A = this chain, B = another copy of it.
């Protein structure tokens, strides 16, 4: 027997009751039933983003919400600064380039978060910058950015702050309104425990003022069209009804568990995994490690492809490799969504067995024990 356990940082595992929700008969979306569903989902999204801002749902990947955010917030005459510390940050630059949005990149060493001082300096150097884009949790490098500190800066400077929260929202503390973030975006297939196919954006009044001041050169991912349809909890284009239904189910359970308890649990999983890494004589990749995903450096002499293949084919654990320049050098384990301490112990056990099989010198059980101690302490 082999159970499949997804430890990839998206898609993540989806709870059985959420899966079953998608197997219910199709219903039409131009109905009171759908509007009630959508209304409740908006309220739940406000909870998840910790905001009173407008919460929009896109039928698309997280990238659709990213595109909507920057295209709406950066009409002609405005300039954005994109802090680039990994592959997903690079995607923001690609959107800017595709839509000919005036922008500049601030390169940060991979594995590090975006720094307030660097952003401040870049803004000093180019007074045209009035929009800042950062990735809260850069999934490719597993680096954490201190969004609260950056939001303080952008508020002082009167700039808009757009945050990519794709592997942050629902996993890490996110307090959009308290911090003063103007647009937060996320996707369904990460901490929200849903299949891929929905993007979400929370947009505050400061952002709407900017959006309304210019022309938005797109149709499908036009924030204004989504806002208008929200007046009646409708959708501008046919929504992914099954996924919306699943979203309601998953977000209700997130609210029941409370965000605070989920944030704590995510931190516990990350701490336990990092403790195991150290005990096994391995290294965590990121200098500023985030709690939603852990990247482990592949020890020299071990073939990364063989490691991931064995984890999957022999033990049923699907983990992620590195992307871009990190390909072959790291493996990544998700701590988001429908994954708990005991799944995580299993993943560490499988990693130990796999590494030993590939010739790496390891004492079986040393990582598992280190992780279990963290869990035992946290569960007291």
Say yes or no: is A196 at the interface (Cβ < 8 Å to chain B).
Answer: yes
Beta-carbon nearest neighbor of A5 in chain B:
B25
Q: How many copies of this chain does the complex contain?
A: 2
A75: B residues at CB distance < 8 A? none
CA distance A100 to B76 in the complex (A): 14
Candidates B26, B98, B318; contact of A222 at CB < 8 Å: B98
Q: Are B61 and A189 in contact (CB under 8 A)?
A: no
Candidates B26, B99, B196, B320; contact of A238 at CB < 8 Å: B196
Q: Are A219 and B62 in contact (CB under 8 A)?
A: no
* A100-B217, A217-B98 given; A240·B62 CB < 8 A: no
Q: Are A196 and B241 in contact (CB under 8 A)?
A: yes
Contact with B along A1-39 (1 / 0, CB 8 A): 000101010111110000110111111111100000000
- A 297-352 contacts with B by CB, 8 A: 318, 320
Number of interface residues of A (CB under 8 A): 53
Say yes or no: is A59 at the interface (Cβ < 8 Å to chain B).
Answer: yes
Q: Are B98 and A219 in contact (CB under 8 A)?
A: yes
Q: Are B24 and A220 in contact (CB under 8 A)?
A: no
Candidates B19, B95, B220; contact of A63 at CB < 8 Å: B220
Say yes or no: is A221 at the interface (Cβ < 8 Å to chain B).
Answer: yes
* A10-B238, A197-B242, A243-B240 given; A220·B64 CB < 8 A: yes
Candidates B23, B220, B241; contact of A60 at CB < 8 Å: B220
CA distance A95 to B237 in the complex (A): 13
Say yes or no: is A294 at the interface (Cβ < 8 Å to chain B).
Answer: no
A14: B residues at CB distance < 8 A? 25-26
Say yes or no: is A232 at the interface (Cβ < 8 Å to chain B).
Answer: no
Say yes or no: is A67 at the interface (Cβ < 8 Å to chain B).
Answer: yes
CA distance A320 to B242 in the complex (A): 20
Say yes or no: is A213 at the interface (Cβ < 8 Å to chain B).
Answer: no
Beta-carbon nearest neighbor of A68 in chain B:
B220
* A98-B216, A219-B98, A242-B197 given; A237·B26 CB < 8 A: no
Q: Are A237 and B11 in contact (CB under 8 A)?
A: no
Using CB atoms and an 8 Å cutoff, list the residues of chain A in contact with chain B.
Answer: 4, 6, 8, 10-14, 19-20, 22-31, 59-64, 67, 94-95, 98-100, 187, 189, 195-197, 216-222, 237-243, 318, 320
Q: A61-B237, A240-B243 are in contact. List 10 more A-B contacts (CB 8 A).
A: A4-B27, A6-B28, A11-B29, A19-B25, A22-B242, A27-B318, A31-B318, A189-B238, A195-B242, A243-B243
